[in-house]
Structures are given as C-alpha cells and as structure tokens.
Amino acid sequence: MGCISRGKLLGTISQHHKTITCLRLGSDNKRLLSGSLDRHVKIYDISTFKVVHTLDYPNAILSLGISNDDQTVVTGLVDGLVCISRRKDKAPKDDEESNKPTKVYMKTQYSNADMVVPDTKLEKQSKHDIYLRKFQYSKALESALITYVANKHPEVTVSVLQELIRRKAFARVLKSADTKTIMQLLKFFTRYIADYRFTRALIFAVNIFVDVFQESIYTMPFEVTKLFCNLTQVLNEEVKLVSELSRLQGAMQMILAASDKSETHTSDIKNLTPSVDAQKSIIFDVS
C-alpha cells in the first residue's frame, strides 16, 4: 500500500498465501479488508497494517463488500456462491462485566444456493473389520465369535470365516488358537451348519478344521472332544436326512414319470380309428 501524492510506500500485505483479488475499506477508513484465492478475508488495522481478524470461506474469493455500519460482510466465491457474514456482539451477563471487552462472532449464511449438501455421518467400523485391515487374523476371529455377534448376527461370523479362508489364513489361525476359541468355533459349527444359508460355507470351514486337528482332536481337553463329537453327530444326522430326502425325491420322480406315460398311452388308444378294410368287414360298432 502506498500514498500516490507522496509516492511513498506505507505498508505491505503478505499474510495471504495466494493472489489477492479484492480490497475494501471499513470502520471509517480505519480497517482494510482483503479477499484472496486462499479462501480467507483478512482485516487489517490501517495504522499498523497488522491483521486483527480473519474470516474463512469454503472456496476462493473473487469479490468483497462491507456495509456502512461494519455489521455485514458479503463475499462472492469462485463457484458463484454468495456468502453473507454478520457480526453479533455477545451481550454482557451483568453490569459488572459491562466494561469487559466483548467477543465478536461471525455467522456465515449461504444465499441462493442451488443445493445444500447435508453432512454425512460415517458409520463406525466394526472391530473385526479393523483387525482384518491390520492383518490381525486371530483377533478378527475372536471378535466374530463373541456371544452377541455369533447369536444375533451369525452372518457376520460366517463372512469373517469366508474372508479368512479366502486369504488362506484360517488354517494358520486355527493352529495358534487357544482352547476357548476352539470351543466357541465348535459350538458355532454345531448350531448353524444345518442352516441352509450357511451350510456350504461352514462345511468348507469344518473340512479345514478337521485337516488341522485330525491327529490331535482326541488328545485335547474333554470339553473340546465332547463338542467335536456333538458336531459329528449333527453331521451324521444331516447326511442321513439328505439320503432319505434323495430316496423320496427319486420315488416321486418315478411316480410322476409313470403317470405321464399312462396318460399318453390312454390318449393314444382313444385316438385309434379302424382302417378302410376293417370298416368294410366290421360287424359291431362299439362307439
């Protein structure tokens, strides 16, 4: 800033990080306002050219205006948005605080906006997702086998098992798992392996479990062995049920096939007509 008549430099403005696009005077020429592409409006004291206040905006500023009473600042942004900031003085609580300096609050209002984008609340990431992202597979399995998740949201537990299998980490996790985790896993297998939603995925997981513990399952504590026997019994019952259903399905298919053939044979007999020679020598006409 300089004086044209004297040709003298009065001061410089170097607080902005980008190009200054507009300047305005306020407070009876005692304050200078500058807008810039760095999204800030700086307010200077003309006597010292020191910044006394800063206003922040959501985008680069191209134009700037201030009311005569210094209560309203209007800025035009590069995206066409007009921002109106009004100053509100905080009233003192009592007469004793009337002599204390008041705080100034700037409230930004958006006018003539095409669309207002609401604030999005990010969903809290679950523990097993955090552990999987950090490659802490044992902790991910333990967090998916807790009672609340396994009972209320079994699909979450199954998805964690599938992810561990996909990453080829399930066998490694089983080898380092403690007795509590193994018991929780066996209970989960026993309860949900008959559920048609999870049968295929859990059978694949059980096969890996058997491959890992096939030589040591009966040397484990009695509780683990008992749970494994319960799982074996459930699997045998499911195999027996599937076998019976297969036989029933086969019998129903044979009955349906025989029914179709009998209907076709009867319709063919009804459509038979005697030949010309037979009609000449026919004695009785049954029809």
CB 193 within 8 A of CB 199: yes
pLDDT(17) > 70: yes
Q: For residue 273, what pLDDT is reported? A: 66
Q: 195 in helix, strand or coil?
A: coil
**Cα 24 to Cα 30: distance, rounded to the nearest angstrom:** 11
Structural domains of the chain sorted by starting position, each given as residue range(s) with its CATH number in brackets: 15-92+99-111 (2.40.10.480), 127-241 (1.25.40)
Q: For residue 69, what pLDDT is reported? A: 86
Least confident range of 46-55, 88-97, 144-153, 275-284: 88-97
Q: For residue 265, what pLDDT is reported? A: 58
pLDDT tens for residues 139-186?
Answer: 999 999 999 999 999 999 999 999 999 999 999 999 999 999 999 999
Report the mean per-residue pLDDT for the chain: 83
List of long-range contacts for 134-138, beta carbons under 8 Å, 24+ apart: 137/164, 137/167, 137/169, 137/172, 137/173, 138/173, 138/176, 138/177, 138/181
pLDDT tens for residues 73-132?
Answer: 999 999 888 888 887 765 555 555 555 555 555 555 555 656 667 777 777 888 999 999
Percent of the chain with pLDDT over 90: 45
List the beta bridge partners of residue 176.
none
Nearest 10 degrees: CA dihedral of 211, 212, 217, 223? -120
pLDDT tens for residues 211-232?
Answer: 999 888 888 899 999 999 999 9
CB 66 within 8 A of CB 26: yes
Q: Closest Cα to residue 74, out of 91, 62, 88, 92?
A: 62
**Cα 185 to Cα 193: distance, rounded to the nearest angstrom:** 11
